[in-house]
Homo-oligomer: A and B are copies of this chain.
């Protein structure tokens, strides 16, 4: 076997995908999305594409011209800009992307036309589903109404929960997300207010509090009821202060990496690759 035969993961026939961000070194999509596509039996590869802010509007439309490009993923700082730009080049935005005003995936449909949507929130819903937890009729406390929080709030709204309570340090941002949630489903008891776990089924942290070396909790509690299901969207560390507390209190927990896996699975569905056995 020669050295080139040993490289089995790329050839002229490999369908290409990319992730666009600035910076790009820290992204995990290249290995995670590629692994998910391979697991589904696809000859496809997602690679990092480092686009600088000054070049984004110029480069994105030209990448969309690559004939063997199946799709693009967007990360910081491009989710909002990509939504506007992709739409102006004819991409159809999904309902969640339109409400959130941001996209993180742009895919070429079987008809060759571009479609875009946001999967941060769908990944959260998928991660709960994988652990056997549905949102239908549940009462949710969501911490954080920024980019990730908004996507999560809107995605949950589509699942028919009984109530969503929101907290954000920026009251205006929280109120805007309440309005978005109501626009999806007016039957949801959506409100902005202080963080609480009273009468709450699912607690979701979409703030950066607890990230890296931050030892704080994103809400002022000393314990959590054991029936509460707790998701923390933070990826690093894997065991955040909130998740550590939840574990001590006997709560079922879902980590940021599990949410990422949920997001990647739904994103690869969107790219048109069926799940193994599906």
Contact = CB atoms under 8 A, between A and B. Distances in A.
Given A51-B66, A65-B59, A35 B6 contact: yes
A25 B43 CA distance: 12
A47 to B, nearest CB: 6
A3 interface: yes
Contacts of A13: 25, 48
Q: Which residue, of A10, A13, A16, A59, has the highest number of chain B Cβ atoms within 10 A?
A: A10
Interface string A5-32: 1111111111010010010111111111
Interface in A183-219: none
A170 to B, nearest CB: 30
Contacts of A6: 35
A49 to B, nearest CB: 6
Q: Which residue, of A7, A27, A29, A38, has the highest number of chain B Cβ atoms within 10 A?
A: A7
A36 B3 contact: yes
Given A3-B36, A62-B59, A47 B49 contact: no
B68 A48 contact: yes
B62 A58 contact: yes
Contacts of A38: 3, 7
Given A27-B12, A30-B10, A62-B58, A68 B50 contact: yes
B68 A16 contact: no
A240 interface: no
Nearest to A22: B67
Contact of A3 (B24, B26, B39, B66): B39
A16 B59 CA distance: 16
Contacts of A51: 65-67
Nearest to A24: B12
Contacts of A52: 65, 67
Contact of A25 (B8, B12, B32, B59): B12
Nearest to A54: B65
A142 interface: no
A112 to B, nearest CB: 13
Nearest to A52: B67
Contacts of A32: 4, 7
Contacts of A29: 12
Nearest to A12: B27
Interface of A: 2-14, 16, 19, 22, 24-32, 34-36, 38-39, 45-52, 55, 58-59, 62-63, 65-69
